[in-house]
């Protein structure tokens, strides 16, 4: 009997990738995960086969594509911390750009037809008015955004001369965790605001910082479009379905189309957790735009995406329950009930 073709998920042991892996498996996909576990966790891979390795290792990648009859690749493996990219740009161009080139070359050689790419709203830089559609000019203001945009260009150019079709998803601010608390955001020294705030609420951090209180926004703090990781993962599943049904190569923004300021997010965390946060106000960080909101109409219209978790308190609640779970004694066992 012929083996079922597989989906290769690079970085599938990480925060976003692990949620996508779970959703793919739940609809019957055969999933292979490639992750070097530098920031991911083997225990987060709830389904499929986990292969520990790098996307920059050409022999490993090509062997996986051929052995498992991979017809689609979802590429999440990347460094994602904006301030770190400013301090160490070559790390980001090496992993995010050069390794992606290697992966694309392997896909071309193995005849992979479909590619789903994890990109970022950082490719827009500081758009006029703080609202970005897919047609907004790409003017990244940090190496992280530039490293991702270079990969977008490579993917586009390759698709012009081969039969590889792709979907690129430009993420805005991903947050929250699986409502059943099976997997979540566990990256050490995480920088995502809601994760940091929940760690502060539970006592893992003594305090948190607001970077910049003098932005031209209603309360002076940065405004971002926060999207629940489950809704983002669903967009990826729909994107793969779209490509397999003959959809043209496309770019999609992933966000809810409205934003919350840093102060509003911290108010929500204090409201949901019942904890008072110790907050220090400091200067702006380099590379942070004042406001960044998604125009995600294309995602709704072309993929039929219908988000389920567009609620700030719910996003925070799932992140908080994950933090409580990973901080609880092992004897308590897994949580079996959803958040709500």
Cα(268)–Cα(262) distance, integer angstroms: 10
> pLDDT-based confidence at 336, cuts 50/70/90?
very low
CATH 3.30.160.20 fits 193-224+257-325, yes or no: no
Q: Residues of the chain with pLDDT > 90: what percent? A: 88
Out of 93, 144, 256, 260, the active site residue is: 144
Could you write out the DSSP letters of every residue in 272-284? Answer: HH--PPPEEEEPP
Q: Are 16 and 8 in contact (CB under 8 A)?
A: no
Residues in Cβ contact with 78 at an 8 Å cutoff, skipping those fewer than 6 apart: 11, 95, 96, 118, 147, 148
Supply the pLDDT for residue 330.
59
Residue 339 has pLDDT above 70, yes or no: no
Delimit the CATH 3.90.25.10 region(s) of the chain: 193-224+257-325
Q: Are 112 and 165 in contact (CB under 8 A)?
A: no
When the pLDDT of each residue in the chain is averaged and rounded to a whole number, the result is 93
Could you write out the DSSP letters of every residue in 308-319? Answer: S---HHHHHHHH
* Token pair listed for 279: 């907050």
Supply the pLDDT for residue 3.
67
* Token pair listed for 60: 């490993």
pLDDT digits (tens, 9 = 90+) for 101-146: 999 999 999 999 999 999 999 999 989 889 999 999 999 999 999 9
Supply the pLDDT for residue 164.
97
Delimit the CATH 3.40.50.720 region(s) of the chain: 6-176+226-254
Could you write out the DSSP letters of every residue in 167-232? Answer: EEEEE-EEE---TTSSS----TT---HHHHHHHHHHTSSS-EEEE-S-SSSTTSS-EE-EEEHHHH
Q: Are 177 and 247 in contact (CB under 8 A)?
A: no
**Closest to 317 measured CA to CA, from 335, 290, 293:** 335
Q: Residues of the chain with pLDDT > 70: what percent? A: 95
Residue 337 has pLDDT above 70, yes or no: no
Supply the pLDDT for residue 190.
84
Residue 338 has pLDDT above 60, yes or no: no
Q: Are 181 and 325 in contact (CB under 8 A)?
A: yes
Q: Residue range 65-88: average pLDDT?
A: 93
pLDDT digits (tens, 9 = 90+) for 192-214: 999 999 999 999 999 999 999 99
Q: Respond yes or no: is residue 309 known to be catalytic.
A: no
Strand partners, 278: none
Question: 6-176+226-254 belongs to which CATH class?
Answer: alpha beta
Supply the pLDDT for residue 83.
83
Residue 333 has pLDDT above 70, yes or no: no
Phi, psi (5° rounding) for residue 288?
-100, 120
Three-class SS state of 311:
coil
Three-class SS state of 9:
strand
Q: Residue range 308-332: average pLDDT?
A: 89
Q: Are 121 and 294 in contact (CB under 8 A)?
A: yes
SS3 content of the chain, % helix, strand, coil (to 5): 40, 20, 40
> pLDDT-based confidence at 2, cuts 50/70/90?
low
Supply the pLDDT for residue 13.
96
**Closest to 18 measured CA to CA, from 5, 4, 31, 28:** 31
């Amino acid at each position: 009997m012929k083996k079922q073709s597989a989906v290769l998920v690079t970085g599938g042991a990480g925060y976003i990738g692990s949620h996508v892996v779970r959703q793919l498996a739940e609809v019957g996909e055969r999933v292979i995960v490639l992750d070097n576990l530098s920031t991911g966790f083997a225990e987060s891979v709830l389904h499929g086969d986990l292969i520990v390795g790098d996307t920059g290792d050409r022999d490993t990648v090509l062997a996986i594509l051929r052995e498992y009859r991979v017809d689609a690749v979802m590429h999440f493996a990347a460094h994602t911390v904006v301030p770190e990219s400013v301090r160490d740009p070559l790390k980001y161009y090496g992993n995010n750009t050069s390794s992606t080139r290697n992966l694309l070359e392997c896909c071309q050689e193995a005849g992979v037809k479909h590619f789903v790419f994890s990109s970022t709203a950082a490719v827009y830089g500081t758009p006029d008015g703080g609202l970005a559609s897919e047609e907004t000019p790409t003017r990244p203001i940090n190496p992280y955004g530039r490293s991702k945009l270079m990969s977008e260009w490579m993917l586009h150019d390759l698709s012009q001369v081969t039969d590889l079709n792709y979907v690129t998803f430009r993420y805005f601010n991903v947050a929250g965790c699986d409502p059943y608390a099976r997997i979540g955001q566990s990256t050490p020294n995480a920088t995502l605001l809601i994760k940091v705030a929940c760690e502060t609420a539970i006592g893992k951090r003594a305090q948190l910082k607001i970077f910049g209180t003098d932005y031209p926004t209603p309360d002076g703090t940065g405004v971002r479009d926060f999207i629940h990781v489950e809704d983002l993962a669903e967009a990826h599943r729909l994107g793969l379905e779209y490509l397999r049904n003959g959809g043209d190569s496309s770019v999609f923004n992933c966000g809810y189309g409205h934003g919350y300021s840093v102060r509003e997010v911290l108010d929500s965390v204090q409201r949901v957790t019942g904890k008072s946060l110790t907050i220090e106000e400091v200067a702006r960080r380099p590379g942070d735009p004042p406001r960044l909101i998604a125009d995600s109409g294309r995602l709704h219209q072309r993929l039929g995406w219908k988000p389920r978790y567009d609620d700030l308190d719910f996003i925070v609640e799932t992140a908080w329950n994950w933090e409580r779970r990973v901080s609880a004694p092992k004897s308590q066992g897994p949580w079996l009930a959803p958040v709500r």
